[in-house]
């Protein structure tokens, strides 16, 4: 085989930084801001221009117990989040997040986020699913919103603040893999400049992964095309586990058949779900809070209505989100973005007509395990949790476990800024006690990355040099589609042993095809096929993690809903799963049930 | 269905050229978006270069010139386009590859207007109050997604990109000038008060016509000019 490119990683440009943030969404930019403000030399690596990050698409809002509309305090928020997590969330992390919430939202406001306002000039807060007053009583209005463009408003403001501080951003650079030093500490990363296909080493004793979610592993999803779990892939290949990967949130109201999100804000402002008989069916499933039950509950209710033949449309395969009874003004002022999306993608103005919706893959509750400080942790040979020197993770790619088995709406934007800031403060603290020492890379670590990169360069060279016998019609796009279909069939809203088993048995064929597939694009300039191949390797590893973890968990908890094990089983399964890709094996760790200042919330039956 | 796409790969092409792709009509539904069709093109030829991310019109990645007008491909229904569909990169900026342009200059213009809120030091215990009326003034200016459709359709931008700030940057500037919380109102106005930076805008409305988010940069610039006359 003739090699077209010999990827030389020995003499490629190397730059050194105090800290490197990989990913420029809300979590990465909040962290970068903190680090830049503390005067550190930092780099932000992003495969897209920062404001293209998926945070931009978050609609509904960010939770904080400001108490601007209804009485509130962080302890109630903490209770709701723990209950929402179906008791799998770590209570110390949830406690910390809820304590920080009010201040960090005010800080965002000070950064310029154009929150909607109440008559007294304070931040507007709307009702959202799973939020209550006084530990489960009346509905709370806790979700701070900038119309229904809250993610856009926050991401742009954070980017703007980074402009103010002059943060160095490597835009349209793809981080391929993490580099390790001899002692196992993370010492840098290898990045590819997407513009010209050139590789570089960025060296730093502090690497923060903020690479976001991986919803592209499912066929129908609300995620951006870029959400391919790159940080998770990097962590797995560096030998670290992923936590709670069986828990994927299906958002109840994606536009049927398409996936674009109709924000939960639509129900928060009074929208109602109806079946083919016109019934507001949520009354049956959550008599107390109805349409504002937590997302897993509403998603299952919709799936049941459809399964039992009460779906709408020619194929009876969706339900309707009804906003027609609301004042036009409410929809136009509070929900302008989803009105646009509905008109654009469903051809329906929600002011006049109900919108067809169905649950759609939305959010990954699992991820790279971290502690409250954003440090990545893993179980050592003795089974104790140890931190990985030099590696941090925040946001959707991380699992500090504030969302447990199900995330409440409005908590993801909160998660990214709280832990983005916290991880940066941790790094900053480290840098204060001893300035950045750049470790030499371990040869094997570099070799592993070289092999991976060369594989994708060779596989495009093969097509050029070999004849068509070996050149099958298979391609990266088709393999990705097949993977997504497998995951949708095997690990959807409802799960069952045989379906998941079948999915697991189908994955090796996908893996083999990906090993063999040849790339047809020879170019080094914006080679999006090569990029898609790197991304697909990450998605495939995530698929393995998901199915393996889900198959093992013989209970129903939060978003993981099994037909063959319908009850939650705290005796056997009140524990986090850890998936290791090298061995394809699972291990487990306990859930933290001991918050620092509040008394623990004992698991009890979850009723809405 | 036929699409003519402007191709250019600096590794082998001296100048851009057109390539026509044919897509099976059976794959097109009444609600198919242009981006979906471009994905089908890439299945035929994975080397076709275009950016995309959110696929629902909020990230601004996939601005391109379609049948002579700037659009975001992900929210442009194929049914609204006359055939053959002719797709070119956004005009006026260097081409990196195919439909992918170098937006550095566009971003630089944005950065040059100091697009960040400037205030007195604030107490983290307190909210920075703003009345609903003051907040309502920001509607129509903060929603910009930096796609570049406006600036790259503007003749003043094409002719003097080094001097004229361009509609996107001016819209961003106005967003902070009218924000009741910002204290640099006068400084911002002074910075923009030049014959080229702001007043090179001739209000031919191309920017407003091109904005896929329905914003009106032209009106924002008009208002900027009147504020300058009034306040400076």
Tokens 């819209």 appear where? B171
Model confidence at A468: pLDDT above 70: no
**Cβ contacts of A527 on chain B, cutoff 8 Å:** 47
Rounded average pLDDT over A106-119:
98
**Cβ contacts of B55 on chain A, cutoff 8 Å:** 224-225
Whole-number average pLDDT of chain A? 95
Whole-number average pLDDT of chain B? 97
Choose among A309, A388, A362, A402: nearest CA to A97.
A402
Model confidence at A472: pLDDT above 70: no
Three-state SS annotation for A435-500: CCCCCCECHHHHHHHHHHHHHHHHHHHHHHHCCCCCCCCCCHHHHHHHHHHHHHHHCCCEECHHHH
- Bridge partners of A255, per DSSP, are A357
What pLDDT shows up at residue A522? Answer: 86
Q: Which of residues 52-71 of B touch A (CB under 8 A)?
A: 52-61
Choose among A267, A263, A270, A301: nearest CA to A283.
A301
Q: Which candidate from A51, A66, A110 shows the least CB-CB separation from B60?
A: A51
Q: CB of A543 within 8 A of CB of B67?
A: no
The DSSP result for A39-65, as a single string, is T--EEEEESS-GGGSGGGG--S-EE--
pLDDT band, residue A1 (cuts 50/70/90): very low
Model confidence at B5: pLDDT above 50: yes
With b meaning 16 or more CB within 10 Å and e meaning fewer, what string describes A47-71? bbbbbbbbbbbbbbbbbbbbbbbbe
- Tokens of residue A123, six digits: 């931040």
Q: How many CA atoms lie within 13 A of A46 on its CB side?
A: 24
pTM above 0.95, yes or no: yes
Count the Cβ atoms, other than its own, within 10 Å of residue A325.
Answer: 8
Model confidence at A551: pLDDT above 70: yes
Distance, in angstroms, between A87 CA and closest chain B CA?
A: 31
Flag whether residue B108 sits within 8 Å of chain A, measured between CB atoms. Answer: no
**Cβ contacts of A341 on chain B, cutoff 8 Å:** 56-57
**Cβ contacts of A456 on chain B, cutoff 8 Å:** none
Selecting among A149, A237, A295, A606, the annotated active-site residue is: A295
Each residue's pLDDT tens digit, A371-388: 999 999 999 989 899 999
Model confidence at A2: pLDDT above 50: no
Rounded average pLDDT over B191-199:
96
Model confidence at A3: pLDDT above 70: no
What pLDDT shows up at residue A352? Answer: 97
Cβ contacts below 8 Å, chain A against chain B, sum to: 157
Each residue's pLDDT tens digit, A8-56: 777 889 999 999 999 999 999 999 999 999 999 999 999 999 999 999 9
Q: A320 or A258, which is more confident?
A: A320
Q: CB of B87 within 8 A of CB of B4?
A: yes
**Cβ contacts of B130 on chain A, cutoff 8 Å:** 117, 121
User: Which of A147, A197, A225 to mutate: most B Cβ within 10 Å?
Assistant: A225
User: Which of B58, B89, B211 to mutate: most A Cβ within 10 Å?
Assistant: B58
Q: CB of B224 within 8 A of CB of B176?
A: no
A606 is catalytic: no
Q: Which of residues 170-199 of B touch A (CB under 8 A)?
A: 176, 179, 181
DSSP state, residue A278: -
Each residue's pLDDT tens digit, A113-152: 999 999 999 999 999 999 999 999 999 999 999 999 999 9
Q: Which candidate from B57, B107, B116 shows the least CB-CB separation from A164?
A: B116
Rounded average pLDDT over A402-420:
98
Interface contact flag, A529 B46, Cβ < 8 Å: yes
Q: Which candidate from B52, B126, B132 shows the least CB-CB separation from A119?
A: B132
Rounded average pLDDT over A315-320:
96
**3-state secondary structure (DSSP) of residue A130:** strand
Where is average pLDDT lowest: A428-437, B34-43, B107-116, B162-171? Answer: A428-437
Q: CB of A393 within 8 A of CB of A209?
A: yes
**Cβ contacts of B132 on chain A, cutoff 8 Å:** 116-119
What pLDDT shows up at residue A4? Answer: 47
Each residue's pLDDT tens digit, B112-134: 999 999 999 999 999 999 999 99
Q: What are phi and psi of A172, to 5 degrees?
A: 60, 45
Tokens 């195919």 appear where? B98
Q: Which candidate from B46, B53, B130 shows the least CB-CB separation from A121?
A: B130
Distance, in angstroms, between A164 CA and closest chain B CA?
A: 7
């Amino acid at each position: 085989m003739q090699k077209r490119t010999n990827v030389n990683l020995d003499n490629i440009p190397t730059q050194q930084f105090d800290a490197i943030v990989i990913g420029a969404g809300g979590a990465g930019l909040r962290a970068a801001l903190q680090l830049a403000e503390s005067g550190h030399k930092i780099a932000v690596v992003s495969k897209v221009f920062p404001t293209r990050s998926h945070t931009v698409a978050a609609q509904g809002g960010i939770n904080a117990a400001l108490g601007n509309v209804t009485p509130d305090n962080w302890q109630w928020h903490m209770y709701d989040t723990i209950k929402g997590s179906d008791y799998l969330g770590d209570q110390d992390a949830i406690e910390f997040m809820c304590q920080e919430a009010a201040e960090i939202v005010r800080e965002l406001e000070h950064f310029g986020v154009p929150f909607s306002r109440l008559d007294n000039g304070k931040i507007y807060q709307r009702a959202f699913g799973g939020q209550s007053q006084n530990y489960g009583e009346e509905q709370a209005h806790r979700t701070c919103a900038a119309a229904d463009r809250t993610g856009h408003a926050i991401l742009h403001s954070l980017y703007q603040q980074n402009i103010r501080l002059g943060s160095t951003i490597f835009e349209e650079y793809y981080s391929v893999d993490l580099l390790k030093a001899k002692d196992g500490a993370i010492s840098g990363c290898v990045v590819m400049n997407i513009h010209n296909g050139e590789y570089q080493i960025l060296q730093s004793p502090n690497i923060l992964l903020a690479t976001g979610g991986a919803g592209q592993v499912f066929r129908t999803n609300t995620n951006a095309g870029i959400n391919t779990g790159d940080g998770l892939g990097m962590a797995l290949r560096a030998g670290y586990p992923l936590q709670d990967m069986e828990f994927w949130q299906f958002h109840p109201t994606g536009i049927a058949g398409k996936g674009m999100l109709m924000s939960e804000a639509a129900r928060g402002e009074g929208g109602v779900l109806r079946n083919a008989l016109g019934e507001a069916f949520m009354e049956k499933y959550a008599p107390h809070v109805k349409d504002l039950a937590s997302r897993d509950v509403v998603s299952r209710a919709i799936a049941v209505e459809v399964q039992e033949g009460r779906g709408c449309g020619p194929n009876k395969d969706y339900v309707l989100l009804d906003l027609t009874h609301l004042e036009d003004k409410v929809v136009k002022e509070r929900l302008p973005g989803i009105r646009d999306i509905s008109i654009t993608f469903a051809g329906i103005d929600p002011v006049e007509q109900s919108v067809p919706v169905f649950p759609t893959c939305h959010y990954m509750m699992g991820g790279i395990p971290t502690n409250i400080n954003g440090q990545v942790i893993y179980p050592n040979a003795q089974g104790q949790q140890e931190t990985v020197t030099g590696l941090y993770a925040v946001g959707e790619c991380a699992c500090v476990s504030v969302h447990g088995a199900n995330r409440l709406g409005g908590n993801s934007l909160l998660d990214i800024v709280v832990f983005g800031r916290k991880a940066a403060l941790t790094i900053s603290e480290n840098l204060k006690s001893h300035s950045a020492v750049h470790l030499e890379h371990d040869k094997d670590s570099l070799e592993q990355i070289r092999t991976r990169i060369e594989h994708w360069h060779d596989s495009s060279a093969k097509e050029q040099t070999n004849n068509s016998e070996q050149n099958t019609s298979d391609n990266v796009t088709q393999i990705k589609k097949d993977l997504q279909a497998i995951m949708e069939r095997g690990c959807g809203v409802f799960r069952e042993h045989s379906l998941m088993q079948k999915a697991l048995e189908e994955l090796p064929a996908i893996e083999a095809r990906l090993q063999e597939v040849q790339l047809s694009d020879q170019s080094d300039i914006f080679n999006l096929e090569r990029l898609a191949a790197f991304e697909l390797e990450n998605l495939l590893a995530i698929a393995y993690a998901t199915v393996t973890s889900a198959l093992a968990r013989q209970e129903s908890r939060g978003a993981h809903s099994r037909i063959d094990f319908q009850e939650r089983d705290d005796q056997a399964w009140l524990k986090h799963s850890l998936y290791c890709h090298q061995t394809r094996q699972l291990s487990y760790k306990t859930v933290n049930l001991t918050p620092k200042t509040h008394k623990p919330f004992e698991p009890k039956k979850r009723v809405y | 269905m036929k699409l003519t796409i402007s191709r250019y790969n600096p590794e082998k092409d001296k100048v851009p050229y057109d390539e026509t792709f044919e897509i099976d009509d059976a794959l097109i539904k009444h609600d198919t978006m242009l981006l979906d069709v471009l994905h089908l093109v890439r299945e035929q030829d994975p080397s076709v270069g275009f950016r995309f991310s959110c696929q629902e019109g909020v990230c601004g990645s996939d601005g391109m010139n379609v049948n002579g007008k700037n659009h975001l491909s992900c929210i442009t229904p194929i049914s609204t386009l006359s055939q053959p569909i002719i797709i070119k990169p956004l005009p006026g900026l260097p081409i990196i590859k195919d439909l992918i342009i170098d937006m550095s200059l566009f971003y630089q213009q944005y950065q040059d207007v100091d697009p960040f809120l400037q205030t007195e030091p604030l107490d983290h215990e307190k909210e920075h109050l703003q009345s609903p009326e003051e907040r309502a003034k920001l509607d129509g200016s903060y929603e910009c997604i930096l796609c570049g459709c406006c600036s790259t359709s503007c003749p003043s931008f094409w002719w003097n990109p080094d001097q004229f700030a361009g509609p996107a940057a001016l819209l961003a500037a106005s967003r902070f000038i009218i924000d009741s919380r910002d204290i640099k109102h006068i400084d911002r106005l002074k910075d923009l008060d030049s014959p080229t930076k702001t007043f090179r805008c001739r209000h031919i409305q191309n920017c407003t016509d091109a904005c896929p988010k329905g914003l009106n940069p032209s009106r924002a610039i008009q208002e900027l000019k009147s504020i300058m006359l009034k306040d400076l």
